Structure 1
Amino acid sequence: MAELIPLIEDYCESLHLVAGKSPATIKSYRSDLQLLAQDVATTKELTLSSLRAWLAKAVAEGKSKATLARRTASVKGFSAWLVKQGELDRDVAARLVTPKAGRHLPRVLAQKEAGELVGNAVSEDEVQFARDSAILELMYAAGVRIGELVGLDVGDVDVAKRTAKVTGKGNKQRMVPFGAAAADALSQWITVRGELAQAEESALFVGVRGKRIDPRQVRRVVERAAAVTGVSDLTPHGLRHSAATHMLEGGADLRIVQEMLGHSSLQTTQIYTHVTASRLKAAFDQAHPRA
């Protein structure tokens, strides 16, 4: 076994216990670092040159800028942690430059399309239809990430107050509002939830086996509704982007949208201002007689 492998596992454990990183982030970092260990087996071999060579190989393999950016982040974090643990004398990855991945937003629905999509659940029976309708309504109304939706418990949602307690990245919790349509859909689902959920299951949304629903099943819910609506290229994250864009188009303050989405940086939220500006320009070009 390469010397780095147990160190990688210790690092990933610290990401979970100390840094509070999400399981998905830890899985990605572990995968990147295990690939590194195939080329760099020991801490002695871990140098700026060897890291650059490892990243250069990824470039030669045609890896995307997003993948390169994540791999760079993985090794920079690992190198800094090794210094703190006394495994390295200096941070060999500190001088690595993280490539800019660029922001490629998924498709953003028009408001009419979004309204049609959330009403187009495609399900095998009435109970699953109630669940899938609630999933679609809440994802669009609250702009939650798919992992946040899956992580919701019954007690996290207050239908009367129309709020949900969401646990986001880094285990940070926030309260998000939702509207009357989502409240109605949630009420209908909660009424019949017991017909599908196992007795001791706390999850708000459950799968066919009565346990917490899997993210893949949520993706299928969105994909089936998108196909019926005629927007088959829509992803669950696209619903989140659509919610944010429509709020800004409706005049919401950027910081309110930031808080609702759980963005740690306002810069992340500002990408939606570019979307709304481009949509405004497109509407102007199409409708104004002097365009």
Structure 2
Amino acid sequence: MSESSSQVQAAVADFADHARLVLGRSEHTVRGYQSDLAQLAGTVERFEDFTLDALRRWLADAVRQGKARSTLARRTAAVRAFSTWAYNQGYLDTDVAARLVAPKITRPLPTVLKPETATALVQDPMRATDAAGGTGASGTGADTPEALRDTAMLELLYATGMRVSELTGLNVVDIDLERRMAKVTGKGNKQRVVPFGSEAANAVRTWLNRGRSDLVAEAGEQALFVGSRGRRIDQRQVRRVVERAAADVGAGGVTPHSLRHTAATHLLEGGADLRMVQELLGHSSLQTTQIYTHVSAQRLKKVYDQAHPRA
């Protein structure tokens, strides 16, 4: 490929740095941008060929290939962000992709647990006892450091609705047990402070007082939750903890994100304001939070159908 024909591809690398360092996009998002734009650069090699018609043909090719609507929406978002950056950098005379419209995505309603199931799930690692011959989440007893940790993680996930990445990113100093508040770092490195209840506070306090020191590999480790090697726990291990606890209470297919959905729905059903739930979850747009009103409405309809004599 000649120097002139690699123009767009070369710019993609600079844009990736911009998305990461200036826009604050996650590594996952940046990699997605790079992958999509690398495919675009294979057909639109120079900025003089970067036209609305060319971009529409690129998306149309994806449709013919049977790509999912979510993939088309992601590609549209990537090229729109790249177009705006290229225009600001002087590569383009106009923000070409600004007129591209992303396809609407039909999002399935999230899995939501009943309150009693959610309560049973978060208590599961501590339910069994050695005297009864049971096992906790680590498989070696309910009072092990692993079981204490798993209970604290599950309680925090359900209490706050935080993302699994936010949970694993917590440091000890981010937790205020007296005020029952946690400082959470969300998408784009945006920080927010979220409250949690007494049950979660008790579980975290027990983990800190009786479990964490037995697992920590180094005295200087800052992570609130550590894995089997004594360093910051990873997201995959948290997912396994949630899946195992859910299976134990007969709730298959539950993920950490399910607990996030469940926390939001239960708050709304309990009378919480939508704006408050938006702040708690760290949504930049209220529209994202509004999906939980649909979940609550469906539950209301189901209860109505079961309870009203003329339903």
TM-score when normalising by structure 1: 0.94
Give the SS at the match of 1:164.
Answer: strand
Q: In structure 2, how many angstroms separate the alpha carbons of the residues matched to 1:134 and 1:34?
A: 42
Tell me the equivalent position of 1:155: 173
Tell me the equivalent position of 1:39: 43
String of CA shifts for 1:152-203, please: whole Å, max 9, x gaps.
1110011121110011122221111111111111112212212212222211
TM alignment of 1:245-284, pairs within 5 A:
245-284=265-304
Q: Which moved more, 1:149-158 or 1:13-22?
A: 13-22
String of CA shifts for 1:16-74, please: whole Å, max 9, x gaps.
22112222222222222223223333323322222212212222232222221111000
Tell me the equivalent position of 2:132: none
Tell me the equivalent position of 1:133: 151
* Aligned-pair CA distance for 1:217: 1.5
Contact 1:106 1:235 (C-alpha < 8 Å) held by counterparts: no
TM alignment of 1:203-214, pairs within 5 A:
203-214=223-234
The aligned length equals: 291
Q: In structure 2, how many angstroms separate the alpha carbons of the residues matched to 1:24 and 1:286?
A: 44
The reply on whether 1:18 has 2:37 as its aligned counterpart is: no
TM alignment of 1:87-236, pairs within 5 A:
87-121=91-125, 122-125=137-140, 126-191=144-209, 192-199=211-218, 200-236=220-256
AA of the residue aligned to 2:214: E
Structure 1 residues 59 and 284, CA, compared in 2 at 3 Å: closer, same or farther? Answer: same
Q: Which moved more, 1:175-184 or 1:62-71?
A: 62-71
Structure 1 residues 130 and 166, CA, compared in 2 at 3 Å: closer, same or farther? Answer: same
Q: In structure 2, how many angstroms separate the alpha carbons of the residues matched to 1:265 and 1:147?
A: 20
The reply on whether 1:51 has 2:70 as its aligned counterpart is: no
Structure 1 residues 6 and 196, CA, compared in 2 at 3 Å: closer, same or farther? Answer: farther
Q: In structure 2, how many angstroms separate the alpha carbons of the residues matched to 1:223 and 1:33?
A: 35
Give the SS at the match of 1:44.
Answer: helix
Give the SS at the match of 2:178.
Answer: coil
Structure 1 gap ranges (5+): none
String of CA shifts for 1:211-254, please: whole Å, max 9, x gaps.
22111111111111122222212221111010000001111111
AA of the residue aligned to 2:82: F
* Aligned-pair CA distance for 1:4: 2.8
Q: Quick check: which has more Rg, 1 or 2?
A: 2
String of CA shifts for 1:61-101, please: whole Å, max 9, x gaps.
32222221111000010011111111222222122111111
CA RMSD of aligned residues (A): 1.6
Structure 1 residues 208 and 286, CA, compared in 2 at 3 Å: closer, same or farther? Answer: same
Q: In structure 2, how many angstroms separate the alpha carbons of the residues matched to 1:123 and 1:34?
A: 43
Tell me the equivalent position of 2:308: 288
Structure 1 residues 115 and 7, CA, compared in 2 at 3 Å: closer, same or farther? Answer: same
